[in-house]
Chains A and B, each alone.
Chain A
Amino acid sequence: MVPEVSHHPLHRADGSASYCNNLFTILASVNGPIEVQRRDELAEEAAIAVNLRPAAGITKTPALRMQGAVRDVGVLPGLVNAAFLALVDGGLRLDCSVVATLFTVTDSGVYEEEPDEKQLVGCKSVHAMAYSHRGELLLNESAGRFPWSEWEGVAERAEKTCFAAMASATGDEEMAGGVVEKSPWLRHELEERARVAVAWRETT
């Protein structure tokens, strides 16, 4: 399953992306770097303000909405991926690339990657995980009942999924060790855009 991505749908934002997976369609926009409000200023730290707005329904205060989103594990990977794509589009300085993925485990212990709505409702536990391109675990939120061994199983699969999304052509040999070949969708998306940006060089 390859998510649908469109780059820079919002012209007035510094960076924006829309991201559509089995469950959600998310529109992310990024503005930065900007001056932080005096009361939020910490001299040695970067400040990031995050706003989540549902497509329908009343808007809550940002803090309440964040709490709601973190509780709803299912939406997290989409939010992370959309935010990352928007950050790249905005050209903000990033330390690493990140991909998030969602896994569910059924009663019978079957692991499902990127579940659809039905699978999400019928599952026993749900796990949102994000890995950087260096293999660091950056997001780990789970809900439901599950033993430790199951979490480990998910973590192992999630790491492979995330790596596959960013895998470079040269890294394929390492990835091929018994793993089902998945398309490096994130690399494709970003490379395509980078190519378009320098297309004029070839014609001149």
Chain B
Amino acid sequence: MTTPGVLLPGEVVPQSALPATKKGTLTLGPGLHHVPPSTISATTTGSLQTDNKKGAIWLETSHGRYQPTVGDHVIAQIHHSSTESYSCILTPHTPYAILGQLAFEGANKKTRPQLKSGDLVYARVSKTKIECFNSATGKSEGMGPLKAGMTFSVTPSFARRLMMGTSKDGQAKGGVVVLEEAGEKVRFEVAVGRNGKVWIDSSTARETIVIGGLLVRADEEGWGVEMQRKMVKKVLRDV
């Protein structure tokens, strides 16, 4: 990673900051806008991040609403059901996301899941809809209805960090260790949606709320890795 420069809306990305690749192609990520022929300007405030290997450049921001992108895993809430599909809420005040009644693993007209309004599903964004199975393989790959448990709201950028996974040496790439640390003490199930929702289910409501509360606080108060470890230990001692 190069040293991040901060851009204000409308400012032009300096030519020197663009990553050079062998192919000479450039991939623009969120927060950037291309004005032909060769001007790239910022559309919001953020710090410039580049990936020289992929020739990618993007603005990293903490703020803003989730914008759906193909392939993202999201937690959607059923708003209402119609004959062909469910209308689901991804983010407030936005048009409903369409989830086909048969877009589940092994679903046909007789075996499709019966979801009521308010139910949650873990789904993947496809081109125009969301789906609860991989349409290429027909497998659920962990997606489907989320039963029991609770959801907690975090910022989309924190959700992204949660989903970054761990590198080869076991370090959390996104710098969030709350779930790993808590997992050593209590058993729980978790699903993270890129739309800023985290679903947690455990044996007792108390544990669920404690873990969710830790995540929300880690997000809002910007805890570092050490602080996260400390707080998880402190809070879980009483559970």
A binds B: yes
Binding site for B on A (CB under 8 A): 7-8, 12, 14-15, 31-32, 34-35, 88-97, 132-134, 166, 186-187, 190-191, 193-201, 203-204
**A88 / chain B contacts, CB cutoff of 8 Å:** 9, 44-45, 63
**A196 / chain B contacts, CB cutoff of 8 Å:** 62, 222
**A15 / chain B contacts, CB cutoff of 8 Å:** 63-64
The answer to whether A14 touches B60, judged by C-beta atoms less than 8 angstroms apart, is no
Most buried by B among A92, A186, A196, A198: A198
Can you list 7 A-B contacts (CB < 8 A)? Answer: A7-B63, A15-B64, A91-B31, A94-B43, A190-B8, A201-B4, A204-B172
Q: Give bound CA distance, A32 to B173, whole Å.
A: 31
Provide the B40-70 mask, 1 if CB < 8 A to any CB of A, else 0. Answer: 0001111101000000000011111100000
Q: Known pairs A88-B45, A201-B1; list 18 more (Cβ under 8 Å).
A: A34-B94, A89-B64, A90-B63, A90-B65, A93-B43, A96-B10, A97-B8, A132-B10, A133-B8, A133-B11, A166-B8, A190-B6, A194-B46, A194-B60, A196-B222, A197-B47, A200-B224, A204-B225
Closest to A170 in B: B14
Please report whether the interface of chain B is mostly helix, strand, loop or mixed according to DSSP.
loop
Q: Does B161 contact A (CB under 8 A)?
A: yes
Could you tell me the distance in whole angstroms from the C-beta of A47 to the nearest C-beta in chain B? Answer: 14
**B95 / chain A contacts, CB cutoff of 8 Å:** 35
Could you tell me the distance in whole angstroms from the C-beta of A142 to the nearest C-beta in chain B? Answer: 26
The answer to whether B11 touches A97, judged by C-beta atoms less than 8 angstroms apart, is yes
Provide the B163-185 mask, 1 if CB < 8 A to any CB of A, else 0. Answer: 00000000111111000000000
The answer to whether A91 touches B61, judged by C-beta atoms less than 8 angstroms apart, is yes
**A201 / chain B contacts, CB cutoff of 8 Å:** 1, 4, 60, 175
The answer to whether A194 touches B94, judged by C-beta atoms less than 8 angstroms apart, is no
Q: Give bound CA distance, A110 to B172, whole Å.
A: 60
Could you tell me the distance in whole angstroms from the C-beta of A132 to the nearest C-beta in chain B? Answer: 7
The answer to whether B9 touches A95, judged by C-beta atoms less than 8 angstroms apart, is yes
**A8 / chain B contacts, CB cutoff of 8 Å:** 63
The answer to whether B10 touches A95, judged by C-beta atoms less than 8 angstroms apart, is yes
The answer to whether A195 touches B47, judged by C-beta atoms less than 8 angstroms apart, is yes
Could you tell me the distance in whole angstroms from the C-beta of B206 to the nearest C-beta in chain A? Answer: 24
**B62 / chain A contacts, CB cutoff of 8 Å:** 193-194, 196-197
Q: Give bound CA distance, A89 to B65, whole Å.
A: 10
Could you tell me the distance in whole angstroms from the C-beta of B26 to the nearest C-beta in chain A? Answer: 19
Q: Give bound CA distance, A204 to B166, whole Å.
A: 11
Closest to A14 in B: B65
Provide the B129-164 mask, 1 if CB < 8 A to any CB of A, else 0. Answer: 000000000000000000000000000010001000
- In the A-B complex, the 7 residue pairs with the smallest Cβ-Cβ separation, listed nearest first, are A91-B64, A197-B62, A96-B10, A200-B175, A94-B9, A93-B43, A204-B175
Q: Does B229 contact A (CB under 8 A)?
A: no
Q: Give bound CA distance, A94 to B43, whole Å.
A: 5
**A91 / chain B contacts, CB cutoff of 8 Å:** 31, 44, 61, 63-65
Q: Does B127 contact A (CB under 8 A)?
A: no
Q: Does B33 contact A (CB under 8 A)?
A: yes
Q: Which of B4, B65, B157, B173 contacts A204 (CB 8 A)?
A: B173
Q: Give bound CA distance, A2 to B8, whole Å.
A: 19
Q: Give bound CA distance, A46 to B237, whole Å.
A: 53
Q: Give bound CA distance, A96 to B42, whole Å.
A: 9
Q: Give bound CA distance, A153 to B93, whole Å.
A: 45
